[in-house]
Amino acid sequence: MAYDPAARTVVLFSGVGAGAGGGALLDDTWTWNGSGWTELHPASAPPFRSGGMLAYAPATRQLVLTGSEFPGYEGATPLGNTWTWDGTTWSRQAATGPSTFGWTAMATDDATGQLILVDGFGSGCQAVQTWEWSGGSWLQLRPPASPGPSDTGLLAYDPVSHRLDLVIDPLPACAIDQSAAGLAADWSWDGSDWISQGSALPRGSSPWSGTLVSSAKGPLLVGSEGDSQLWVGRTWSDAGGAPAPARVGAAVAYDAADQQVVLFGGACLSCKPAAGITAYLGDTWTWDGSWTLREGPVR
């Protein structure tokens, strides 16, 4: 899910429908106009997927979709294809995304106009890779400094500091400085290089299965344990709870037109309908300093 500034709407692709085993993946396209959802029926659509990334490319005024969380949809291969949304339909691009398994983070840098993808999380003791969408292909950037090996990474634009923030979870086994092992690290992107901002907070204090999203007040971390935290001036503060029940895998985006974060669905952590079945949620929440249930009920 991502905000489309050209259309001033939030676009949601894919989803999970009712079905055996907890639901079947869908290839739906929906838009949120600040008050409700509208299903679109474009002439073409990407294959359904789980864990795909969607973000806006200012240079081409299109949304870019790439990646997936796990393999198994186009034959026996992961989804590494790239699609663009022009406000009317989806178009497949010749370029293949740099990640094949979705261990990536992607966000728009509003300060530089770049669409940045950070790749290589969980790939061993190697520094992460930085890629930029050029409009027709993925260009690997080679900054002088790069964040080190990490399990996970959360990426979002901070309108307060005017920088793209990357918070990573360093791999202790790969840490050169063992005093920093286990500490989340904060990096910022200046358009050509990564700048280390030091340790963000101890690992375990932040729900790493959460999602980091831009907001008018600063990056917002929506956790998986019923909490949310605001990141301002390199300090985390409580953002007023989180949508209930607690969930993972929710779609989250910042709606700049209405100046609110929009959250849809996710997998319920406390719901246990039956053995081997995952309960997926169908509710919509917004955050503008506090959380408000906009559409329900939870299904």
pLDDT in tens, 245-286: 988 889 999 999 999 999 999 888 888 776 667 788 899 999
Integer angstrom CA distances of residue 25 from 12, 47, 48, 154: 13, 9, 6, 24
pTM of the complete model = 0.89
pLDDT tens string 120-161: 776 667 778 899 999 989 999 999 998 887 777 889 999 999
Residue 258: predicted pLDDT: 96
- State percent of the chain over pLDDT 90: 45
Please determine, for residue 74, whether its predicted confidence score (pLDDT) is greater than 70.
no
Q: 49 vs 20, which has greater pLDDT?
A: 49
Contact 121, 128 (CB under 8 A): yes
Q: Closest by alpha carbon to 166, among 216, 231, 240?
A: 231
Q: What is the mean pLDDT of residues 169-183?
A: 61
Instruction: Say how many C-beta atoms besides its own lie within 10 A of residue 144's C-beta.
Output: 7
Indicate the pLDDT class of residue 7, thresholds 50, 70 and 90.
Answer: very high
Would you call 150 helix, strand, or coil by DSSP? Answer: strand
Indicate the pLDDT class of residue 70, thresholds 50, 70 and 90.
Answer: very low
Report the distance separating Cα 221 and Cα 207, nearest Å: 8
Residue by residue, DSSP assigns 229-247 as EEEETTEEEE-S--SSS-E
Please determine, for residue 165, whether its predicted confidence score (pLDDT) is greater than 80.
yes
Token pair 């949310």 is found at: 228
Residue 210: predicted pLDDT: 78
Indicate the pLDDT class of residue 208, thresholds 50, 70 and 90.
Answer: low
Q: What is the mean pLDDT of residues 4-20?
A: 81
Residue 64: predicted pLDDT: 96
Please determine, for residue 217, whether its predicted confidence score (pLDDT) is greater than 80.
yes
CB crowding 63-99: b at 16 or more within 10 Å, else e: bbbbbbbeeeeeeeebbbbbbbbeeeebeebebebbb
Report the distance separating Cα 207 and Cα 128, nearest Å: 21
Residue 205: predicted pLDDT: 47
- State percent of the chain over pLDDT 70: 79
